[in-house]
Each structure stands twice: as C-alpha cells, then as structure tokens.
Structure 1
C-alpha cells in the first residue's frame, strides 16, 4: 500500500489537530467530544475518499455532530 501526498497531508493535519486539542483542558466535555469527533471524522473522510477535500470536510462535519451528541 502506498500513500500519496494528499493522504499523508490529511493524516498529518488530523494528528496535529488532535495533539493541539490536548492543550484545551478548560473545555467542557461536550466541546472536547465535538472537536475530537471532527478530527476523527476528517481523518476518516480523507482516508475513505483518497484525500478528497469534500470527503475530508464532510467527515469533519459528521464527526463533529456525532461527537457533540456523545458529549452530552
């Protein structure tokens, strides 16, 4: 399996976002869940659509909504 530049960039972006969220310790549980869900969704969307911008953004939106609901 070979990774192209778009996939590598999407993975690096998702990891950077996930690591930067660890600095937000004063966020509520719901806020953290929303942000983590958006990051995971963006990563999943990018992987499933071979780095498509629309797939990445769609995954982030869906993941954020799911994370928000789980964090209630």
Structure 2
C-alpha cells in the first residue's frame, strides 16, 4: 500500500511540470535505479541519477519544441534543427 501511495504522489507531482522537468525527473529516477542496480552502492545510484537527469532534460527540452530534433556534426557538437 505504501508503494502505491508513493507512486501516486510522484505521478501527481510530475503532472504540473513542463516536458523538460518531467524528462529530467523521470531520467534521474531511472538512472538512479539502473546505477544502483549495476554497482550495488549509493555512489553508483547518485551518478546514474545525475546522468539520467541531464539526459532526460535534454530529451524533454526537444519535446517542448515540436518539429525540432537534436543532431551531431562530425566533430561531436550537438545542435537543434528542424526534423
């Protein structure tokens, strides 16, 4: 029962966020779970949360801009352009 209440609270708190904030939150949570499971310690979960949060924010940022996509040039630089 406690798990269901916790999941409901997290879902309701994400409902009022922008797509970038939702992406960062979901990415951080997923990264923390994967990082913790892969390493078996808190440090791995923290690193996974940081990486997941940044990645989720980038993906969420593009979701706010319909018709825009992230691309990389041959030097590895990222830029946003029309899809």
Q: What is the total number of aligned residue pairs between the two structures?
A: 55
Aligned equivalent of 2:10: 21
Larger Rg: 2
Q: Provide the aligned C-alpha RMSD in A.
A: 1.4
* Larger relative contact order (Cα-Cα within 8 Å, sequence gap ≥ 6): 1
- Where 2:12 maps in the other structure, the secondary structure is coil
| Bigger share in helix | 1
SS in 2 for 1:22: helix
SS at match of 1:71: helix
Q: Name the TM-score, length of structure 1 as normaliser.
A: 0.70
Aligned to 1:31: 21
Query: TM-score w.r.t. structure 2 length?
Result: 0.61
| Structure 1 stretches lacking a partner, 5+ long | 1-11
SS of residue in 2 equivalent to 1:27: coil
Alignment correspondent of 1:45:
35
